[in-house]
Amino acid sequence: MSHTSSQYELGEILLSAEEIAEVVGRLGREICADYERKQPVLVNLLKGGVVFLADLMRQMTIPHHIDFLNVSSYGNNTSSSGVVRIVQDLSSNIEGRHVLVVEDVIDSGRTLTYIFNMLRLRSPKSLEVCALLRKPPALKSGISMKYVGKDIPSVFVVGYGLDYQENFRNLPYIAKLLHYKNL
């Protein structure tokens, strides 16, 4: 079944629901092995990362907490500027905690760099990232990404939490966005 609307058209599926489940299961096992007895805080970036977090935490068999950070990027529609505004801050104190940022996709790495710098000032015991998707520019960003679900090409994708102008977050799979019409 193809999902189309008058404005947008979806292309090739990059990750099916089955592939996502496999990737999330693997990440969950890796994280559990590394964070046993550390009671990490999974810091989720709203809103794109929320579907990923919900599945990832249910793959985790170790005690952990979750918290949310809502940042809005001053970018155009399909790329970020890296200058972000905190819309909603964490509800907990992360000082001395093992923090794992759970992010949907890392493209230029600018958003993550900004967030890492901000969180580091709060003296967490450790700070790492778990990203479901990574695009090629992220490799040049200089951030070490401990957990990555899948490397994808530099294309704009939607579904499984990822949006284009707030649309498509509900798709159970991740697909290319083919056309940006009527912009």
Catalytic residues: 107
Concatenated DSSP letters of 3-58: -B-SSEEEEEEEE-HHHHHHHHHHHHHHHHHHHTTT--EEEEEETTTHHHHHHHHH
Is residue 40 part of the contact set for Mg ion (CB under 5 A)?
no
48 touches Mg ion by CB under 5 A: yes
Report which secondary-structure segment, H or E, holds 144. none
In this complex, which beta carbon is closest to ligand IMP, that of residue 94 or of residue 105?
105
147 SS3 class: strand
161 binds Mg ion (CB under 5 A): no
Size of the site for Mg ion (CB under 5 A): 3
CA–CA gap between residue 11 and residue 1 (Å, rounded): 12
99 touches, from ligand IMP, Mg ion, none (C-beta below 5 to 8 Å by class): none
| Residues 88-107 within binding reach of Mg ion (CB under 5 A) | 104
Query: In terms of Cα–Cα distance, which of 183, 5, 179 is closest to 77?
Result: 183
**109 near Mg ion (CB under 5 A):** no
Binding residues for ligand IMP (CB under 6 A): 48, 80, 82, 103-112, 156-158, 162
- The least distance separating ligand IMP from the CB of residue 72, rounded to whole angstroms, comes to 10
Place of tokens 């890392």: 106
- Residue ranges that bind Mg ion, judged by CB under 5 A: 45, 48, 104
